[in-house]
Structure 1
Amino acid sequence: MEINIKDFTEHDFLEYDKWFKHESISSALEYIDQEWLDSVLNQKDFKQICIFKDNILLAVCGIYLPQPEYNYYAISDFSINPDYQHKGYGSKILNKIINSNSFNESDCWKALVSIRNVNAINFFKKNGWNFECNQDNGYSKYYYFKTK
């Protein structure tokens, strides 16, 4: 599967926003708005990316970049276009992201997954990510880790 990764833009927001009409996205990620867009476009230690296949937006992923106080990438959100869910794209895309030359500052990856998001928990487990710890920051989150 030939897929392309690029930085998320304001133009991508219009298509991504449509995904939140689907229960599978809105229940897991809640919502996005102009404040969310401004935040992801302007953070220095964070990158929101898009994954395309034949000009179709297949996935969107938010990634905290390694910092001096933590030397790992942390996936904050990962969503697959509702029209392409349950077709094997998620695992292929996740593998492409963590093995991309764009993300080579660290071999360690983590994912921040809400305890309520059973589909995401099962997805990361299916892909060989292991439970690391449970932390309560207002929302209970599972933290998973994976190395290249």
Structure 2
Amino acid sequence: MPSSPASRPSALGTLSVRAFVAGDYPWLQVWYQDPVLDEELGPLDDEWLEAVLTEEDGEQLVVLADGSPFAVVGLVWASGEHRAHVITDVAVDPARRGQGLGRAALGEVVAHVERAATDGWVAFVDQENLAAFAFFSALGWEHAAEPDPEDEDGMHTFALRP
């Protein structure tokens, strides 16, 4: 869970992280009208909202600059099943794509999460999502595993070790 609503100054303004709430849904729906975001992370629907608001093994976090949301990062907490926190999605305001906001958002989330994870963080990237592959590579996350060739839905595994 994120630390108290601490914030840090940055080139983007004062950054902060908070839990996603139902009131965030309308502006996030606007973001998902973007065909690229919808293709990679969609669909965003009422079923998704209900799952996000009731999930207990992780959460969606909103990353803000000067109080304005610029990214939403989903994660699953480390548990007995897995010893690393899992990044499930990183959605950046499509109108601000290409400005380094994904990098800032992920860095802010990693810095603010208080729960310890023995193995740090992992992210699974679809083998066809070249942008996400390049993103995690550029951040210096270790490309820990190639997709299983027998699994048509196989994912690349990226890791950020403690």
Counterpart pick for 2:73 among 43, 50, 61: 61
Counterpart-to-counterpart distance in 2, 1:29 and 1:111: 14
TM-score (norm 1): 0.90
2:32 maps to which residue? 20
- Across the aligned residues of Structure 1 and Structure 2, the Cα RMSD in angstroms comes to 1.7
Partner of 1:83: 95
Amino acid at match of 2:156: Y
1:72 aligns with 2:84: yes
Cα separation, 2, equivalents of 1:138 and 1:6: 35
Deviation sequence 1:54-83 (CA, Å, 0-9, x none): 232100011000101211100011111112
Partner of 2:125: 113
Q: Which has the larger radius of gyration?
A: 2
Q: Give secondary structure in 2 for the equivalent of 1:41.
A: helix
Unpaired segments of 5 or more residues in structure 1?
A: none
SS in structure 1 at match of 2:40: helix
The equivalent residue for 2:114 is 103
Aligned positions of 1:20-59 closer than 5 A: 20-59=32-71
Q: Percent identity?
A: 22
Partner of 2:6: none
Compute the displacement of 1:138 (Å): 6.2
Q: Kindly report which structure 2 residues correspond to 1:116-127, keeping only aligned pairs within 5 A, or say none.
A: 116-127=128-139
Is the Cα–Cα contact under 8 Å of residues 114 and 142 in structure 1 kept in the other structure? yes
Q: Does 1:146 align with 2:160?
A: yes
Structure 2 gaps, min length 5: 1-9
| SS of residue matched to 1:123 | helix
